[in-house]
Amino acid sequence: MSILAIVGVIVSSSAMFIVLSGFSGLKNYSLEFISFVSPEIKISPIKGKSFEFTDEMKRFLDIEGVSYGLSYEDKALLSVNENNRIVKVKAVDQNFPRKSIDSIVYQGLWFNKGSDEVVVGLGVAYELGVSTFDAISPIKLYAPKPGKGQVFSEKDILKSVNVLASGVFSLNEELNNSLIFCDFELAKNLFEIKEQHVGSVDVYKSNISYEKISSFFGPEFSVETRIQQNKSIYKMLNTEQVAIYLIFSLIVVVALFNMFGALMMMVIEKQKNLQTLMVLGVTKTQVGKIFFYQGSLISVVGCIIGLSVGVLLVFLQQKFSLFMITPSLAYPVVFDINNFLFVFFTVCVLGSLASTIVSFYVKKSIQQISQK
């Protein structure tokens, strides 16, 4: 029974560590793609969609060690092949990192500077039938015109431009279905942005502290880190991680029931031996400690062996890609010391709790034996 109990602890602790490592790998994999489109720091106006990028702001950012670009985001209607969809247009200038471009372009090329070209998401391209460099069926982008006055036709309220899809990008399902990239000059024409106005300043790399940037731009601007820009995604991933931890904690509890049952059966089986120990002068507390230490030993030893097996399997997956998501993509796993400590702490605490309950039962059982 003790062997079965320790095997249960080994399997459950190993499974818990492997699943948490796999989730950490998927989490890092997802956040890595987010970093391709989310700058290290984003500076945008609190009111309105754009602001004037003054010479003073430019001088503040034009120092060694700072890499930044200008961007603008707004919604537009994309129409192609009689198919329509509302998309978010993200306009970036030529300072958009080359590393990000190389990482997200799935097919075709990135748009050229000053060209009427866009890079569409994989979902948009698939569902609307967008082909790269298809001059026969060009894409038409519609955006509302600012201003007031009477409306006599769609031209009075909508500005439109014809563009070609130079490439297709792939990030995640949400962005693939809702986002397109274009040149900053194209967006200025489509959305009629004023001269020297930008939607945001994207700082890709900086040796200036977040506090200093916030202080310089003042309360009229929102200065967000990458985590603040993607609060909902980070919150969702953290919630999922907690849920997985709780679910596998329940599996550990079920495994420790085996240990609890094994110790209880030993108590019932060894009642005569326990009575003999009592006659020899062993106290009820000392007898209870015997079963407490045995249960704790099963928990700790089983957890250590299980974690060792888990660490070995995680290392083998990282080194040899034993499990693949696609023929070219191995299932991502990450060894995180926090996951290691979470599993060890959970198994040891729950194991100690089960051992304490058994110890209490032993004391009560001995008392009943003595009365008999």
Q: What is the pLDDT averaged over residues 258-279?
A: 78
How far from chain centre, in Å, is Cα 53?
33
Task: Express each pLDDT in 232-244 by its tens digit.
Answer: 888 998 899 899 9
Q: Which of 73-82, 108-117, 262-271, 329-338 has the lowest mean pLDDT?
A: 262-271
Q: Say yes or no: 6 and 124 in one domain.
A: no
Could you tell me the pLDDT band of residue 150, with boundaries at 50, 70 and 90? low
Range of the structural domain that residue 241 is part of: 2-32+233-371
Q: CB-hemisphere CA count at 13 Å for 106?
A: 17
Closest-CA residue to 348 (of 280, 259, 262, 263): 259
Q: Say yes or no: 8 and 43 in one domain.
A: no
**In 10 A of CB 134, how many CB atoms?**
14
Tell which of 198, 225, 252 closes a domain. Answer: 225
Q: Say yes or no: 214 and 75 in one domain.
A: yes
At residue 147, the pLDDT reads 61
Q: Say yes or no: 108 and 245 in one domain.
A: no
Contact predicate 194/61, CB 8 Å: no
Q: Say yes or no: 204 and 256 in one domain.
A: no
Q: Say yes or no: 94 and 197 in one domain.
A: yes
Q: Which of 93-107, 158-172, 245-259 has the lowest mean pLDDT?
A: 245-259
Tell which of 173, 207, 225 closes a domain. Answer: 225
Report residue 199 as tokens: 């939607």
Q: Say yes or no: 220 and 352 in one domain.
A: no
C-alpha 296/C-alpha 343 separation (Å) is 15
At residue 280, the pLDDT reads 79
Tell which of 225, 248, 282 closes a domain. Answer: 225
Ramachandran quadrant class, 218 (left: phi over 0; alpha: psi -120 to 50; beta: rest): left
Q: Which of 80-94, 169-183, 259-273, 312-326 has the lowest mean pLDDT?
A: 259-273
pLDDT higher for 284 or 183?
A: 183
Secondary structure of residue 113 in the 3-state scheme: coil
User: In this model, does residue 209 exceed pLDDT 50?
Assistant: yes
User: In this model, does residue 359 exceed pLDDT 70?
Assistant: yes
Q: CB-hemisphere CA count at 13 Å for 223?
A: 14
Q: Where are the alpha helices (DSSP H) in 191-283?
A: 210-217, 226-229, 231-269, 271-279
How far, in Å, are 43, 47, 159, 189, 314 from residue 219 at the CA level? 11, 11, 33, 29, 47
Q: Which of 1-5, 18-22, 250-254 has the lowest mean pLDDT?
A: 1-5
Q: What is the pLDDT averaged over residues 76-80?
A: 95
Report residue 369 as tokens: 């034996």
Radius of gyration of the chain (CA): 31
C-alpha 235/C-alpha 46 separation (Å) is 23
At residue 369, the pLDDT reads 47
- Overall number of domains in the chain: 2
Task: Express each pLDDT in 286-319 by its tens digit.
Answer: 888 888 998 899 999 999 999 999 999 999 999 9
Could you tell me the pLDDT band of residue 283, with boundaries at 50, 70 and 90? confident
Share of the chain above pLDDT 70, in %: 95
Q: Is the pTM of this model over 0.75?
A: yes
Q: Say yes or no: 72 and 216 in one domain.
A: yes
Q: Find all residues with CB under 8 Å of 123, minimum gap 6, and list them.
A: 173, 176, 177, 178
Q: What is the pLDDT averaged over residues 190-208?
A: 94
Closest-CA residue to 70 (of 42, 109, 32): 42
C-alpha 182/C-alpha 90 separation (Å) is 6
Q: Which of 150-154, 323-327, 353-357 has the lowest mean pLDDT?
A: 150-154
Q: Find all residues with CB under 8 Å of 75, minimum gap 6, and list them.
A: 86, 87, 88, 89, 143
Q: Say yes or no: 87 and 194 in one domain.
A: yes
Q: Say yes or no: 78 and 19 in one domain.
A: no
Closest-CA residue to 195 (of 50, 331, 58, 319): 50
Q: Say yes or no: 200 and 338 in one domain.
A: no
Closest-CA residue to 262 (of 10, 15, 16, 8): 8
Mean pLDDT of the chain, nearest integer: 89
Q: Say yes or no: 140 and 193 in one domain.
A: yes
How far, in Å, are 24, 232, 235, 239, 248 from residue 242 at the CA level? 12, 15, 11, 5, 10
Q: What is the pLDDT averaged over residues 87-103?
A: 95
